[in-house]
Amino acid sequence: MPRDMSDADTILRDIFGFDSFRPGQAEIVDAVSRGENVLAIMPTGGGKSLCFQLPALVRPGVTVVISPLIALMRDQVRGLREAGVAAGALTSANTEEENDAVWDMLHSGDLKLLYLAPERLASGGTQRMLQQAGVSLIAVDEAHCVSQWGHDFRPDYLRIGELRRALDVPLAAFTATADAETQDEIVTRLFDGQSPRSFLRGFDRPNIHLMFAPKNKPRQQIISFAAARKGQSGIIYCGTRAKTETLAQALVAEGHSACAYHGGMEAEQRRVVEARFATEDGLIVVATVAFGMGVDKPDIRWVAHADLPKSIEAYYQEIGRAGRDGAPAETLTLYGGDDIRLRRSQIDEGLAPPERRHADHGRLNALLGLAEALECRRKTLLGYFGEAEVSCGNCDLCDKPAEVFDATEAVRKALSA
């Protein structure tokens, strides 16, 4: 029998060391602990891990966690063990002894969380072992990896549905990728098409100001934006490696502390930039999308896109690096006809299958819709992610409705003619 939520509060405090749930967590923890099938969509950093780790302690037996990255699994297992929770991982990176220790805990019924690399599901031995192990819950982290038309597709994730049928236990799926197509694929492949209880939570980042502008004098537009925020940490995303270098130089010439970052740089050089950005105040990193994974500086005050991102998801993720501390942060995204043509041809010339290309065009179109929105960008952005009730007052269109802006602009031109 699941215990009630006051137990959850106690476990939250005593085991995980947190005073309170983050928005959305309590409801998800409750539903997963009760054994409902759940799909939870929360942004990166929202606290998804807790939403299966805590229920795993409430439920009887062992919870199997499928996760795509060995490093992520190891981190979580280490954290859980430090908190005194019996957790283990079975991955290809394990030593023989590590594997044996995990098997022993599983057989003795002591293990509460078993992290499994998806490749493991391919072996019949794993399936049989799990059938005897008293599994009471399957948790799927990064569930969008099941989407064949997404960018993180992992074929072995397709075996999870089969595992769920074999074990006949509830399944809870977690992801930060929320577009409707991906959600549909998750429901089809993980839940056999039977709608789980869905939680879509916390995509709004109300402290981030949203602004778009057509490219006019793009270099000057970016330099002015940076000049108005001198001394604050920021990221400028560029479409090419070459541009990160030239723009960084231009900013240095303007007296900023700035450096370039892209995938063509030596790993060591990149680490230096990452370390400087984490520790220095007021550094501007001019980067390609290679800069991002693992950037968790809380006080990034602004993010600018010198070129249009490739999709609405990429846009959301990239601007989302600003203002993690909750204090005001600003963004500017430039777009022009060239960007749109470039992004389209990148999609068409890529090696992806036609269905995936179709989905990618859709994600780009959604971003163009946002760039050309006539009213509140936040409503448009969050509407795409399925959030209906949105209040804003913190985007360029809310600051200055389009009609009013055009009228003043027209008047100003007329007066100066």
Which residues would be at the binding site for Zn ion (CB under 5 A)? 376, 378, 392, 395, 398
Instruction: Return d(Cα 295, Cα 201) in angstroms, integer.
Output: 22
**Which of these, 79, 48, 35, lies nearest to 142 by C-alpha position?**
48
- Convert residues 41-80 into a mask of x (bound to Mg ion by CB under 5 A) and - (unbound): -------x--------------------------------
Is residue 48 close enough to count as binding ligand ADP by CB under 6 A?
Answer: yes
Q: Do the strands 135-140 and 62-66 form a parallel or antiparallel pair, or are they unpaired? A: parallel
**Cβ at position 48, least distance to Mg ion in Å:** 5
Q: Do the strands 212-214 and 113-116 form a parallel or antiparallel pair, or are they unpaired? A: unpaired
| Residue 398 interacting entry, from Mg ion, ligand ADP, Zn ion, none, C-beta within 5 to 8 Å by type | Zn ion
Instruction: Return d(Cα 174, Cα 39) in angstroms, integer.
Output: 6
**Cβ at position 297, least distance to ligand ADP in Å:** 14
Question: Of the two residues 47 and 206, which places its CB atom closer to ligand ADP in the complex?
Answer: 47
The helix (H) or strand (E) run that includes residue 235 is strand 234-237
| Residue 206 interacting entry, from ligand ADP, Mg ion, Zn ion, none, C-beta within 5 to 8 Å by type | none
Question: Of the two residues 188 and 317, which places its CB atom closer to ligand ADP in the complex?
Answer: 317
Q: Where are the alpha helices (DSSP H) in 305-401?
A: 312-319, 337-349, 354-371, 377-384, 396-399
Query: Which of the stretches 18-26, 87-95, 147-155, 336-344 binds ligand ADP when contact is defined by CB under 6 A?
Result: 18-26
Among the listed residues 2, 35, 47, 401, the single contact to ligand ADP using CB under 6 A: 47
3-class DSSP assignment, residue 227: helix
| Residue 392 interacting entry, from ligand ADP, Zn ion, Mg ion, none, C-beta within 5 to 8 Å by type | Zn ion
Question: Of the two residues 140 and 392, which places its CB atom closer to Zn ion in the complex?
Answer: 392
DSSP state of 292: B
Integer CA distances (angstroms), 36 to 30, 146, 206, in order: 9, 20, 31
**Cβ at position 271, least distance to Mg ion in Å:** 23
Question: Of the two residues 51 and 222, which places its CB atom closer to Mg ion in the complex?
Answer: 51
The helix (H) or strand (E) run that includes residue 261 is strand 257-261
| Residue 50 interacting entry, from Zn ion, Mg ion, ligand ADP, none, C-beta within 5 to 8 Å by type | ligand ADP
Is residue 44 close enough to count as binding ligand ADP by CB under 6 A?
Answer: yes
Is residue 45 close enough to count as binding ligand ADP by CB under 6 A?
Answer: yes
Q: Give the tokens for residue 357.
A: 């290309």
> Can you give the three-state secondary structure of 81-130, one letter per residue?
HHCCCCEEEECCCCCHHHHHHHHHHHHCCCCCEEEECHHHHHCHHHHHHH
Question: Of the two residues 209 and 310, which places its CB atom closer to Zn ion in the complex?
Answer: 209
Residues of the shown chain interacting with ligand ADP in the complex, contacts defined by CB under 6 A: 18, 21-22, 25, 42, 44-50
